[in-house]
Structure 1
Amino acid sequence: MDEMGLRAGIPVGTSLIDAHAGGVGIMESVPQSDSEAKESGKEAVTSRMALVCGTSTCHMAVTRSKLFIPGVWGPFWSAMLPEYWLTEGGQSATGALLDYIIENHMASPHLADRAASQKTSIFALLNNMLLTMMEEQKSPFVAALTESTHVLPDFHGNRSPIADPKSKGIICGLTLDTSERQLALLYLATIQGVAYGTRHIVEHCNAHGHEINTLLACGGLSKNPLYIQEHADIMGCPVILPRESESVLLGAAILGAVAAKKYPTVMEAMKALNVAGQVVRPSQDPKVKKYHDAKYRVFQELYEQQLSQRSAMAKALE
């Protein structure tokens, strides 16, 4: 503290520290059988994006060259991985948004009681409910249940890639239904809205020089299989989950190991200690891709409509 000129009690942005440690804890968590793993490790890492997803989600990718991307934080030199430029996008409300959607629904208290009695989570109950609904309604796949329900997840503004703090959340397709099944549909549509936001960030980064084709995820939301599968299907790329369940702690331990000279470099420590767990691959059904492409267009139109409405109201108040 004295060496850095800091006083006791000074506020510290722990979410960024957690995100960067999480990135260090997962960026080399790729299967050895992956063809990518045969490439030069230094360059292969630039095709990956780390999602540290909890209350909010940080989207972190690195490059050798300096890339200025509108609406996305960075580039930051050696901010996460030494000698790489860091691009950091993000969504300000992801886990917090799912909690908000669930907790403010009329069916939530009964669902919470049932989850407690069964010693499981509300998320597990909702995921199982959606599978049952798919079978009963003869839906071709779970995601298709939300064909009439769309969510723009900007309930706390848009951090990336639009960088619009005035953006608001939108739910399209509400009815008078207050059942648990209606909550399940709203929950699924919200997950999809968040995943479309990630797709928007990745497409925007790739349009400005990145070549991201793989996601690596850690944090509380990464433990939800529906959340991860929807991201894989919507992105059309694999999502790799690390073997280590607490990647932020692992990332901090890696930095400590390098500081203690147990490893000569951060990258060598990452290659030794990052280990892939499950690899979640996107559906190969072309109908799934067609469906999500259509919903993604609706997702984009919801924001465009919001801008038009905002302009109309501003003119009315002139």
Structure 2
Amino acid sequence: MSGATLGIDVGTFETKGVIVGSNGEVLAEARRRHRMIVPEPGWAEHDPEADWWGEFASISRELIAGCGLPASAIRAVGASGIGPCMLPVDAGGNPLMNAVLYGVDTRAHAEIAELTASIGPETLIERTGNALTSQSVGPKILWLKRHRPDIYAAADGFVNSTTFLVERLTGRRVLDHYSAGSVQPLYDVERQDWADDLMDGITTRERLPELLWTTEIAGHVTAAAAEATGLAVGTPVIAGTIDAASEAVSVGVLAPSRTMLMYGSTIFMIQVAAGRSADPRLWYAPWLFPGRHALMSGLATSGTLTHWFRDRFARELPPETAMGTLAAEAAASPPGARGLIVLPYFSGERTPLHDPHAKGMIFGLDLTHERSDVYRAVLEGIAYGVRHVVETYRGSGHPTSGLFAVGGGMKNPVWFQAVSDVSGEPQVLRRHSVGASFGNAFLAALAIGDVGESDIERWNPEVGRIEPKTELADLYGKGFATYRELYERTRDLMHARM
């Protein structure tokens, strides 16, 4: 079979990989689990050698061994990873510390406030398209400079997960424009280049990667990378992108107003837009191809919150079946979780609040509530967060035209249905839900001309929809009003506990 491509994605808790044939058929699939390191409250890290490169290499070898094709049949490679991250590396691309993760890591809140004041909120929106938040990379580089000056001084560059992987594969240090849009305030969205005048005191252009578009060929697999991964020397490698963008591609989010909803360690949403938005409640970046735009949003905790609940309140359950058992328990609790409301701000909150000091809350408990009610309320709390984002898109003049679902959380039917019921939005289901790794394989095929953009409908056709239950609209409308009021009434108390 000709035209096979390999896609691998490094997520917060799992690395996934696929080899996909020319018609979109998954020929081999593999995955590895890892953990998020939390050395202090509000911090989130990965070991890049073990979690990123080590798992990429071992999965690549497993896929090639199991797909029934020789390595030479893999025509191109696409990689993606969690982002935006901040990892200082030496001249050889070797890590100097653990990687600081995306918006779930809130350590740089002081630097966010300082840079916002010095640059100015209006300038930030005009030049970078975004307010500075815990998702921004620039404040985390400044944090490093202040709190780990020895590492900062030794750093030859600052990279994210995809850049790290592509450099290991090809020897070339690159970053796609979509990912660069998260390196605020260092990237100018109008010029689509590094913003030298906004870097003062943070870093210099020489310590940032070369900019490419996602499907540009960054280089070819080196001999050392071939030995580690089992790939053939000379295999093309695309620049790649952040995992959420590849997830969006995998479910056909390529046309304006289509919105991807990724059920992962966090909820992440991407809407392809007809033009640029300047709404500071959302994130903006150039899309994967020249001349296109994307509006992003994300909750700080989603899958991480379900893992937290399992690990704290379901320790007696076997790990391999715990999530299924909890989902079944949640299904036994009625919609509305018998009056419980959860604010899922257990690691602050990203869009649209942009509040790193927001705190989680379980509201309405009494002595009759069971674990099943609390877990259902956790899932519904995440759904309320999705509704908050959907209403923000609508208020910014970019209403959604359905949600295109992807990710591991789709396996939980209570959570999945609750999102539609609470938000009032239908969700489109595709045949393949493996996510970013599948999207990477498609982008790699697109880069070498094996497919066109419209072929994603052939690779991953629609197979169904989840419709909201209209009879629950009033219940969840009242619940959402309480959800919003709880935050507004307790925000000052939350901040007093920072």
1:124 to 324, 332, 339: 324
Amino acid at match of 2:286: W
**Bigger Rg, which one:** 2
Aligned to 1:298: 482
1:83 to 278, 288, 291: 291
Aligned to 1:72: 282
2:261 to 27, 51, 57: 51
Amino acid at match of 1:189: A
1:228 to 413, 416, 430: 416
Q: How far apart, CA to CA, are the structure 2 residues paired with 1:295 and 1:232?
A: 14
Q: TM-score, normalised by structure 2?
A: 0.50
- In the alignment, is the contact (CA less than 8 A) between 1:102 and 1:183 conserved in 2? no
Deviation at 1:147, TM superposition (A): 3.3
Q: How far apart, CA to CA, are the structure 2 residues paired with 1:185 and 1:13?
A: 38
Deviation at 1:104, TM superposition (A): 1.2
Deviation at 1:210, TM superposition (A): 0.3
Provide the alpha-carbon RMSD of the alignment: 2.5
Q: How far apart, CA to CA, are the structure 2 residues paired with 1:253 and 1:272?
A: 14
SS of the residue 1:216 aligns to: strand
Select between 237-246 and 153-162 the one with higher mean Cα deviation.
237-246
Aligned to 1:239: 427
Deviation at 1:308, TM superposition (A): 4.1
Percent identity over the alignment is 26
1:22 to 230, 239, 247: 247
> What is the number of residues matched between the two proteins?
268
Aligned to 1:259: 447
Q: TM-score, normalised by structure 1?
A: 0.77
Q: How far apart, CA to CA, are the structure 2 residues paired with 1:279 and 1:103?
A: 32
1:169 to 355, 360, 367: 360
- In the alignment, is the contact (CA less than 8 A) between 2:258 and 2:400 conserved in 1? yes
Amino acid at match of 2:242: I
Amino acid at match of 2:477: D
RCO comparison, higher one (Cα < 8 Å, 6+): 1
Amino acid at match of 1:293: G
Amino acid at match of 1:26: V
Q: How far apart, CA to CA, are the structure 2 residues paired with 1:97 and 1:127?
A: 14
Aligned to 2:464: 278
Aligned to 2:75: none
Aligned to 1:197: 385
Aligned to 1:249: 437
- In the alignment, is the contact (CA less than 8 A) between 1:19 and 1:52 conserved in 2? yes
SS of the residue 2:339 aligns to: coil
Aligned to 1:12: 160
Amino acid at match of 1:83: G
Deviation at 1:84, TM superposition (A): 2.1
Deviation at 1:72, TM superposition (A): 1.6
The yes-or-no answer on 1:61 pairing with 2:286 is: no
**Structure 1 segment 298-317 matched on structure 2, within 5 A:** 298-310=482-494
Q: How far apart, CA to CA, are the structure 1 residues paired with 2:92 and 2:270?
A: 30
Amino acid at match of 1:269: D
Q: How far apart, CA to CA, are the structure 2 residues paired with 1:97 and 1:19?
A: 19
Structure 2, gaps ≥5 residues long: 1-89, 96-158, 163-178, 180-240
Structure richer in strand, relative to its length: 2
Dislocated runs of 4+, deviation >6 Å: none
SS of the residue 1:160 aligns to: coil
- In the alignment, is the contact (CA less than 8 A) between 2:330 and 2:375 conserved in 1? no
Aligned to 2:126: none
Amino acid at match of 1:100: W
Q: How far apart, CA to CA, are the structure 1 residues paired with 2:410 and 2:315?
A: 25
